[in-house]
Homo-oligomer: A and B are copies of this chain.
């Protein structure tokens, strides 16, 4: 009998978590082709990855757990979801028993213990060999400077002395996951496991984790195109990007404090790849009528030989949720592989999936892809 791996979502009924679960249901039922899933391609042939039927889903939600709203939203732009709506709702509802009450704000000293108990309960109830915790909740404001400076020692003292930790909620979840030896993935721009104290904790506990912020659209292109300017030694003078989005997270990003968190992971990648700092701008606007669309326009002004002035632009018309979901399937599978192989801490070979890859200098997509290919060669050669 095959061992089951649990996927425990922070934000279990949100659009992304719903689409991951819906997609797996459709794939298992032969109602969809596995498009957009890298771990289904030749590249990873031979690696010991969990199959679709080895996943069990659960998680937590701050609102009353209900898949209907997300299904309705996804039906608006994914015909396969629309055409299978009844099938999906029936089957998704079977997961509801695995979804517990989520924390919106740190309420007191017991929060971490509460989350740990939820994860343990999920594992036990479903006889899981492993639980992978994945954050797909709404973006938080930036963490306070105090939270960033917090040492692991101070954090553990707070916990043991029953004081509030001052951590952002996403980091409470990351801590709880790691304490339960659960690999942790942060698909959002929130702090999660990126705070120094959590990163240190994961190393000590020998738990693998990775983040932040899934690289699905504009930044994916940026991290690819910036590499080209390096390969041709063309000097980027300015890079201005403007994003309009109708996705549900757009509503959340419309709050200035959350937008700042998002821009912080989108900004800066150009400079990291180029090695110098051209003038970069990142604008985001929430346009509800765009529905599932996330549209970006980027204008890159650059100079070539003898300072000749040139420019390139791109327009990206993506369905963000449909771009995110398969990455999460890939990440869950590869994370489970790392866990089996005894890897821990941040995982550079997963950097290509993130806007701000933790503990990794590779920011250019081609370089990141090389890291994954190299890793898979090592895996497949049995090392």
Contacts and interface: CB of A to CB of B under 8 A. Distances in A.
Interface string A228-242: 100111110110101
Contacts of A224: 224-225, 227-228
A283 B297 CA distance: 12
B297 A289 contact: no
A305 B221 contact: no
B36 A233 contact: yes
Given A224-B228, A287-B281, A79 B307 contact: yes
Interface residues of A, number: 71
Interface string A260-288: 00000000000000000011010101011
B326 A228 contact: no
Interface string A11-42: 00000000100010010000011011110110
Contact of A279 (B78, B279, B288, B299): B288
Contact of A306 (B23, B221, B231, B301): B23
Given A237-B289, A326-B233, A307 B244 contact: no
A81 B306 contact: yes
Q: How many copies does the complex hold?
A: 4
A322 B297 contact: no
A315 interface: yes
Given A228-B220, A281-B285, A299 B306 contact: no
Contacts of A287: 238, 240, 279, 281, 301
Contacts of A235: 35-36
A80 interface: yes
A141 interface: no
A311 B303 CA distance: 19
A310 interface: yes
A192 B41 CA distance: 38
Nearest to A39: B233
Contacts of A281: 244, 285, 287
Contacts of A318: 304, 310, 312
A37 B221 contact: no
A285 B309 CA distance: 20
A318 B77 CA distance: 17
A365 interface: yes
Interface of A: 19, 23, 26, 32-33, 35-38, 40-41, 77-81, 220-221, 224-225, 227-228, 231-235, 237-238, 240, 242, 244, 278-279, 281, 283, 285, 287-290, 295, 297, 299, 301, 303-319, 322-323, 325-326, 352, 365-366, 369-370
Closest 6 CB pairs of A and B: A366-B366, A242-B242, A308-B322, A36-B305, A80-B306, A237-B289
21 contacts: A26-B306, A32-B306, A35-B304, A36-B232, A36-B235, A38-B231, A80-B306, A220-B232, A221-B228, A224-B228, A237-B289, A281-B287, A287-B301, A297-B299, A304-B323, A305-B322, A310-B319, A310-B323, A312-B315, A313-B314, A313-B317
